[in-house]
Structure 1
Amino acid sequence: MADNDQYRSQSQTRVTPPPPRRESELRTNSAQLQQPHAGSNRQDAEHSLNLLEHLSDDLANLLNRTDISDCFLKVDGTFMAVHKCILAARSNAFAAVISGKFNRLDSTIREQLETLTEKEKLVIVIDKTDPEIMKQVVVFMYTGKCELNEGNAFYLLEAAGRYDIKDLKVHTGRFLVNRIDSNNVLTLLRAAYKYNNKLVKQYCIEHFITHAKEVMDQHELWKKFAEEQQPIVAELLHWHVNRDLFYSEKPQWDANSRW
């Protein structure tokens, strides 16, 4: 009984707050808090970046750990060991596949993702993405980094849209908008509209407004594009005629196009 009384006494012990400070003390401490130590903001920023870098490195170490992976991507016969929780967190398309909610996917994407089970592990079969591109997609989903260059940027942009990886959409989009020209603008427009990449769409429209004659002078390319993408052409011509309206709305587009 004595032990029980002792336990009851301890469990009911209240945490007593410190006594209130005098107003002069509060003013002094408040002033001190409002004056950060020299370099503290920079050090905090560096520390935060270091933490993110360590997280990226740790997640990178999970790649191809077949002993602890619970899923495989089968890409043109190549198997990539992955983790369902990472895929689901980073890609809306893979999240739908893993949760079995295929109805959330566009019918075209749904047809491109087949699922199997091998040795009690989920296998997602991918046929529409090159293995080397998919490897960079997987690396990005784990680490937030990938090899991005002029040779693979468009294919990564397509993959980001196909699997609905928002960060990769922005990452590839920011790379490509600085490389838009009259030779690639129609290809980029088609992908931007197909996968609703607002950033790329905006900059492609802006390029067309400025270089419409140059783009349309590529007669065969423009003719084919106009036949296949009539709604896009209608919007391009609308903004070309109403360029003042486009530029007046551009700041709002900039604010909304980076997710």
Structure 2
Amino acid sequence: MIPATVMAESLPLGSRGSLSGDLGALLESKEAADVTLEVSGSRLSAHKAILAARSPVFRTELRDVTTDSDSLTIRISDMKEEVLRQVLCFMYTDQVPRLRTYVAHLIVAADRYNIPLLKELCEDTLAKNITTANASAIAVIAVKYSCAKLKEVAINFIRAHNEVLATSGWEDAILRQPRTVAEICRLLVAKPSKKSAEQSPSTDVEQRRGSLEEDLLALLESGEAADVTLRVGRRGGRLAVHRALLVARCPALAAVLRVKGVRPAVFAEVMRFVYTGKAALEADSAALCEDVAECGMNCSVCTVIKFFIPENSQFITNFHMEFTIDTNPAADLNWRLLQAAKDGAVEELRVLLAVGADVEIKDEYRKTALQWAAERGYAKAVDCLLSNGAEVNTRDRWQLTPLHRAAERGHQDVVTVLLEAGADKSAMDNRGRTPLYIAKVINRWQVMDILR
């Protein structure tokens, strides 16, 4: 067994108003919880939006579950209640209060639910604490759960410390995991790595993929699991959001269905800040408030924030530090094009394009109308945009193409239209994933057949 060190029991909340602080408080309060996790005879409350944002496996399970009630239950076997509590804490806050205590169990859970950042944290912890006594157990974990960096550390450590093979841990591994030990032996006799025998994986957590902010931003821009639709501005532009995030970050919005007197682009930035704690910074855009002192916190952004989040002036200050916005007067026409693509409104798309809307206009996520239409499965809208010169292999801020988006959501007809228009099946996003790889990971079998 891996030696355990007891850590603090309290949930690692940040300050209220911070993303992790607000979501940690939401987890503790159980307010607006809409899913129950049954584990080891206990029932834990959680929120669909957070589970869907942080784990592709949970996201798929939530898509497949149908229920007539406002809440649903997911049963989890082969996991201890306290381990699941630690996993939930990470999903809400990016922190694990008892990481070293449950690290061996958490790495299994992270692998099962495809939570890469948690898995990396576990790998780092095990690599830093490898000893002669536990090296065998760590090597077994690394091989069984495909932990490439940890596997290299463990194999190099055993090569450098032959006494590991005389420990009770090695004997126990042979008895309990003979096939895994056979693979370890094969690796031991293979050509040694050029890296240091005791080199640990990088601990630069901030640069890793799958952080809380990144996952929630992806949730916002995809609309996955959204359960609230806000109408914004005079034209009633629609914005799909998540009640759990509203309850945690700006409770006044949770009871509102329409936001008047605010430009949709401004409100979109407010929502971006709600989900991530940051606003988009565009080098070529004009600052809405160039001087916070002169603004007096009375600009349109501050008015929105003061109304919906009156108790948190720091929220406004932070937003001012991050916020810039495009004030181009032609933006309205292009904004309507993006909205029409999101709604699959083909006739409106044709009219807007005929009067000069830019088919290649990109929103704050670097997504074009084609990417939105492809993601939401509107094959006719996709065909219309392509016919009007839309770039079939355009990239968003994550380097995802329309084909990536369509494959992820399982839109077979859209995938077919894009391929016929010359979409690149081998295109890779910023994680090195092709459309086929994404379809395979989330079991989009029919899309996989089209892409092969």
Coarse TM-score class (shorter-chain normalised): 0.5 to 0.7
Answer yes or no: is the 8 Å Cα contact 1:64–1:82 preserved in 2: no
Deviation at residue 51 of structure 1 after TM alignment: 9.3
Answer yes or no: is the 8 Å Cα contact 1:160–1:168 preserved in 2: yes
SS in 2 for 1:79: strand
For residue 42 of structure 2, what is the amino acid of its counterpart?
Answer: T
Deviation at residue 186 of structure 1 after TM alignment: 2.1
SS in 2 for 1:69: coil
Corresponding residue for residue 35 of structure 2: 71
Higher fraction of helix: 1
Alignment of 1:146-165 (within 5 A): 146-165=96-115
Report the Cα distance in structure 2 between the residues aligned to 1:67 and 1:217, rounded to whole angstroms. Answer: 53
Deviation at residue 67 of structure 1 after TM alignment: 4.4
Greater relative contact order: 1 or 2 (C-alpha under 8 angstroms, separation 6 or more)?
A: 1
Deviation at residue 147 of structure 1 after TM alignment: 1.3
Q: 1:140 aligns with which of 71, 77, 90?
A: 90
Corresponding residue for residue 171 of structure 2: 220
For residue 216 of structure 1, what is the amino acid of its counterpart?
Answer: L
Q: Residue 135 and residue 221 in structure 1: after superposition, are their counterparts in 2 closer, same or farther (change >3 A)?
A: same
Q: Residue 168 and residue 125 in structure 1: after superposition, are their counterparts in 2 closer, same or farther (change >3 A)?
A: same
Which ranges in structure 1 are unaligned for 5 or more consecutive residues?
A: 1-49, 101-114
Answer yes or no: is the 8 Å Cα contact 1:116–1:125 preserved in 2: no
Report the Cα distance in structure 2 between the residues aligned to 1:156 and 1:205, rounded to whole angstroms. Answer: 21
Tell whether 2:24 aligns with 1:60.
yes
Report the Cα distance in structure 1 between the residues aligned to 2:42 and 2:34, rounded to whole angstroms. Answer: 16
Answer yes or no: is the 8 Å Cα contact 2:15–2:21 preserved in 1: no
Answer yes or no: is the 8 Å Cα contact 1:64–1:81 preserved in 2: no
Equivalent residues, number: 190
Report the Cα distance in structure 1 between the residues aligned to 2:74 and 2:68, rounded to whole angstroms. Answer: 10
Report the Cα distance in structure 1 between the residues aligned to 2:186 and 2:113, rounded to whole angstroms. Answer: 28
SS in 2 for 1:68: coil
Deviation at residue 125 of structure 1 after TM alignment: 0.7
Report the Cα distance in structure 2 between the residues aligned to 1:98 and 1:63, rounded to whole angstroms. Answer: 18
Corresponding residue for residue 186 of structure 2: 234
> C-alpha root-mean-square deviation of aligned residues, in Å?
3.3
Report the Cα distance in structure 1 between the residues aligned to 2:195 and 2:121, rounded to whole angstroms. Answer: 26
Q: Residue 51 and residue 98 in structure 1: after superposition, are their counterparts in 2 closer, same or farther (change >3 A)?
A: same
For residue 232 of structure 1, what is the amino acid of its counterpart?
Answer: I
Report the Cα distance in structure 2 between the residues aligned to 1:195 and 1:155, rounded to whole angstroms. Answer: 11
User: What TM-score do you get using the length of structure 1 for normalisation?
Assistant: 0.62
Q: Residue 117 and residue 180 in structure 1: after superposition, are their counterparts in 2 closer, same or farther (change >3 A)?
A: farther
Alignment of 1:1-259 (within 5 A): 54-100=18-64, 119-211=69-161, 213-218=162-167, 220-221=171-172, 223-224=174-175, 227-229=178-180, 230-238=182-190, 242-243=191-192, 246-247=193-194
Report the Cα distance in structure 1 between the residues aligned to 2:177 and 2:40, rounded to whole angstroms. Answer: 33
User: What TM-score do you get using the length of structure 2 for normalisation?
Assistant: 0.37
Report the Cα distance in structure 2 between the residues aligned to 1:141 and 1:124, rounded to whole angstroms. Answer: 16
Point out the more displaced range, 72-81 or 189-198: 189-198
For residue 171 of structure 2, what is the amino acid of its counterpart?
Answer: E
Deviation at residue 117 of structure 1 after TM alignment: 5.4
Answer yes or no: is the 8 Å Cα contact 1:74–1:123 preserved in 2: yes
Deviation at residue 66 of structure 1 after TM alignment: 4.3
For residue 72 of structure 1, what is the amino acid of its counterpart?
Answer: T
Report the Cα distance in structure 2 between the residues aligned to 1:53 and 1:201, rounded to whole angstroms. Answer: 40
Q: Residue 161 and residue 217 in structure 1: after superposition, are their counterparts in 2 closer, same or farther (change >3 A)?
A: same
Answer yes or no: is the 8 Å Cα contact 2:155–2:184 preserved in 1: no
For residue 231 of structure 1, what is the amino acid of its counterpart?
Answer: E
Report the Cα distance in structure 1 between the residues aligned to 2:83 and 2:67, rounded to whole angstroms. Answer: 24
Answer yes or no: is the 8 Å Cα contact 2:48–2:62 preserved in 1: yes
Point out the more displaced range, 133-142 or 153-162: 153-162
